Structure 1
Amino acid sequence: MRIKAAVLRTMGVRAPYADSRPLAIEELELAPPGDGEVLVRVVAAGLCHSDLSVINGDRPRPVPMALGHEAAGVVEEVGRGVTDLKAGDHVVMVFVPSCGHCLPCMEGRPALCEPAAVTNGAGSLLSGEWRLHGSGGERVNHHVGVSAFAEYAVVSRNSLVRIDPSLPLEHAALFGCAVLTGAGAVFNTARVQPGTSVAVVGLGGVGLSALLGAVTAGAARVIAVDIVDGKLAMAKGLGATHTFNATQDGCADAIRDLTGGGVETALEMAGSPQAMDLAYRITRRGGTTVTAGLPNPTLRWPLNIVSLVGEERTVKGSYIGSAVPGRDIPRYIGLFQAGRLPVDKLLSERVKLDGLNAAFDRLAKGESIRQVLTF
Structure 2
Amino acid sequence: MLTRAAVLQEVPGSYQATEVELEDPRPGEIRVKMKAAGMCHSDDHFAVGTQQVPILPIVGGHEGAGIVDALGPGTTGFTEGDHVVFSFLPVCGRCWFCSKGMQNLCRLGASIGTGARFTDPTSFRMSMDGKPVGQLAGLGVFSEYVTVHVESAIRIDESIPFDVACLTGCGVGTGWGAAVNSAEVRPGQVVIVMGIGGIGINAVQGAAHAGADVVIAVDPVPFKRESALKLGATHAFADIAEAADFARSLTDGQGADSTIVTVGILRSKHVGQALESVRKAGTVVVTGLGDSVIAEGDINLHQLTLYQKRLQGSLFGASAPLADIPAQLEMYRRGTLKLEELITTRYTLDQVPQGYDDMNAGRNLRGVVVFD
Correspondence 1:8-87 to 2 at 5 A: 8-13=8-13, 22-61=14-53, 62-87=55-80
Which segment drifts farther, 143-152 or 184-193?
Answer: 184-193
Q: Distance in 2 between matches of 1:283 and 1:343?
A: 29
With normalisation by structure 2, the TM-score equals 0.94
TM-aligned CA deviation for residue 299 of structure 1:
4.3
Name the structure 2 match of 1:290. 285
Asked whether the equivalents of residues 99 and 116 of structure 1 are also in contact (C-alpha less than 8 Å), the reply is no
Name the structure 1 match of 2:2. 2
Describe the SS at the equivalent of 2:79.
coil
Query: Which AA in structure 2 matches 1:131?
Result: R
Name the structure 2 match of 1:116. 109
Name the structure 2 match of 1:303. 299
Which segment drifts farther, 44-53 or 71-80?
Answer: 71-80
TM-aligned CA deviation for residue 250 of structure 1:
4.8
TM-aligned CA deviation for residue 368 of structure 1:
0.8
Name the structure 2 match of 1:138. 131
Work out whether 1:267 is the aligned partner of 2:260.
yes
TM-aligned CA deviation for residue 265 of structure 1:
1.4
Name the structure 2 match of 1:244. 237
TM-aligned CA deviation for residue 171 of structure 1:
0.4
Q: Distance in 2 between matches of 1:325 and 1:133?
A: 29
Q: Deviations over 1:230-276 (max 9, x none)?
A: 111111111211111117x6553333223432111110000422332
TM-aligned CA deviation for residue 37 of structure 1:
0.8
Which segment drifts farther, 204-213 or 295-304?
Answer: 295-304
Asked whether the equivalents of residues 62 and 136 of structure 2 are also in contact (C-alpha less than 8 Å), the reply is yes
Correspondence 1:1-375 to 2 at 5 A: 1-13=1-13, 22-61=14-53, 62-117=55-110, 119-128=111-120, 129-135=123-129, 137-246=130-239, 250-260=242-252, 261-270=254-263, 271-273=265-267, 274-297=269-292, 298-375=294-371
Q: Deviations over 1:331-370 (max 9, x none)?
A: 1111111111112111001100111111111111211110
Query: Which AA in structure 1 matches 2:79?
Result: K
Query: Which AA in structure 2 matches 1:6?
Result: A
Describe the SS at the equivalent of 2:289.
coil
Query: Which AA in structure 2 matches 1:277?
Result: G
Describe the SS at the equivalent of 1:63.
coil
TM-aligned CA deviation for residue 63 of structure 1:
1.4
Asked whether the equivalents of residues 211 and 224 of structure 1 are also in contact (C-alpha less than 8 Å), the reply is yes
Q: Distance in 2 between matches of 1:346 and 1:240?
A: 14
Q: Distance in 2 between matches of 1:81 and 1:54?
A: 35
Q: Distance in 2 between matches of 1:251 and 1:239?
A: 16
TM-aligned CA deviation for residue 80 of structure 1:
3.0
Query: Which AA in structure 2 matches 1:27?
Result: E
Describe the SS at the equivalent of 1:144.
helix
Query: Which AA in structure 2 matches 1:294?
Result: L
Asked whether the equivalents of residues 276 and 291 of structure 1 are also in contact (C-alpha less than 8 Å), the reply is yes
- Structural RMSD (CA): 1.5
Q: Distance in 2 between matches of 1:181 and 1:345?
A: 17
Segments of structure 2 that go 5 or more residues without pairing to the other structure are: none
Describe the SS at the equivalent of 2:132.
coil
Asked whether the equivalents of residues 190 and 247 of structure 2 are also in contact (C-alpha less than 8 Å), the reply is no
The sequence identity of aligned pairs, in percent, is 37
Describe the SS at the equivalent of 1:243.
strand
Change (3 A) 1:250 1:182: closer
Query: Which AA in structure 1 matches 2:116?
Result: S
Query: Which AA in structure 2 matches 1:348?
Result: T
Segments of structure 1 that go 5 or more residues without pairing to the other structure are: 14-21
Q: Distance in 1 between matches of 2:358 and 2:338?
A: 23
TM-aligned CA deviation for residue 83 of structure 1:
1.7
Asked whether the equivalents of residues 36 and 82 of structure 1 are also in contact (C-alpha less than 8 Å), the reply is yes
Q: Aligned residues, how many? A: 364
Asked whether the equivalents of residues 127 and 156 of structure 1 are also in contact (C-alpha less than 8 Å), the reply is no
Asked whether the equivalents of residues 97 and 126 of structure 1 are also in contact (C-alpha less than 8 Å), the reply is no
Q: Distance in 2 between matches of 1:233 and 1:281?
A: 25
TM-aligned CA deviation for residue 303 of structure 1:
2.1
Which segment drifts farther, 99-108 or 361-370?
Answer: 99-108
Describe the SS at the equivalent of 1:267.
strand
Asked whether the equivalents of residues 126 and 132 of structure 2 are also in contact (C-alpha less than 8 Å), the reply is yes
